[in-house]
Structure 1
C-alpha cells in the first residue's frame, strides 16, 4: 500500500498568503467600522491583493499535487 505524501509547499504558501489577506480584510473593515476614513494605503493593497493571490497559488499547488498523485497511482 502506498503512503500519501503531505501537502505541497505551494498549497501551504497559498494558505498562509490567503490567511494574511483575510486578516488584512478584517482589519480594514474593523478600522472603517470604528470611524476611520483615511486608511493606510499599504493595508488596502494587502487586503485587495493578498487574498486572491493566495487563492491562486493554493489552487495551482492543489492541481499540481492532484496531477502528481494521479500520475503515480496509474503506474
Structure 2
C-alpha cells in the first residue's frame, strides 16, 4: 500500500484538533478574562478545522482505489 496524500493529512488534522482543544482548556482554566483574543479564535477555529480535516482524510482513505 502506498502512502497517499490523505494519509499525510491525518497528522496535520490531529495537531490542529489538539491545539484547538488546548485553547479551549486554557479558556476554561483561565476564565473569560485575561486571555488574548487569539486564544479564543484558536479554540473556535482550530478544533473544528482539525476535526473536519480528520474526517475528510478518513473518508478519502476509506474510498476504494480506482483500477488501472
Instruction: Indicate whether the TM-score tops 0.5.
Output: yes
After TM superposition, the structure 1 = structure 2 runs for residues 1-75 of structure 1, keeping only pairs within 5 Å, are: 8-32=7-31, 37-67=33-63, 70-71=64-65
Secondary structure of the residue aligned to 2:65 is helix
TM-score, normalised with respect to structure 2 = 0.81
TM-score, normalised with respect to structure 1 = 0.74
Structure 1 unaligned blocks of 5 or more: none
Structure 2 unaligned blocks of 5 or more: none
How many pairs align? Answer: 67
Q: CA RMSD in A?
A: 2.3
Q: Distance in 2 between matches of 1:4 and 1:42?
A: 38
